Structure 1
Amino acid sequence: MSENSKFISGLLLGALAGTALALYLNTDKGKELLASLNIEADHLKDEAQEGYVHVKEGVDELLAKAKNLVKELEQKIAEA
C-alpha cells in the first residue's frame, strides 16, 4: 500500500468516525452523554481549583518559613 493510499484511507476513516460520532451525539442518548460529561468536567474543574488553592497555601507557608530562616541567618551573621 503506498503512502498516498494510506493517507486517503486514514482520511476517509476519520471522516466516517466523525460522521458517526456527530450522528450519535444528536440522539437523546448522545445528548445525555454530553450533559453527563459537562457535569463531570465542572466537578473536575472545581477539584482542580481547590487543589490549586491548597497547594498555593502550602507554597506560601514554605516561602514565609524560608524568609524567616534567611532573616535569622542574617542576624546570626551580623552578631558574629
Structure 2
Amino acid sequence: MLTKAGLLDGLKATTHWGDIEAMRAAFPAVEVIQDAAYGDQDRIITSAGISAAIGMILHLVGRILGVPMAKATARRVEYECEPRA
C-alpha cells in the first residue's frame, strides 16, 4: 500500500524475502533492502513480515520511550532482541 501510494519513493524499504524481487521490479523508485527485519526511514518504518514486525515495534518503543523500556517490553513478551534507539 505504501509503495502504490508513492510514500516510499526515494526511501529504503524492506518486505518479505519472497517479495523482494517483485517489489524491486514494480517500484524502481524505492531502494529495496534485503536481509533486514525492518527498515527505519524516520517517518516510515517497514518490516519484512509479521514476525519481523515484533522487532520493528520494539525498535519504535526504543526510539520513543528509550532502549531500557524496549528491553523491558521485550522481556515482558518473552522476545529476544537488541532494540536500537
Relative to the length of structure 2, the TM-score reads 0.20
Pick the structure with more strand per residue.
Answer: 2
Pick the structure with more helix per residue.
Answer: 1
Q: Specify which structure has the bigger relative contact order, considering alpha-carbon pairs within 8 angstroms and separated by 6 or more residues.
A: 2
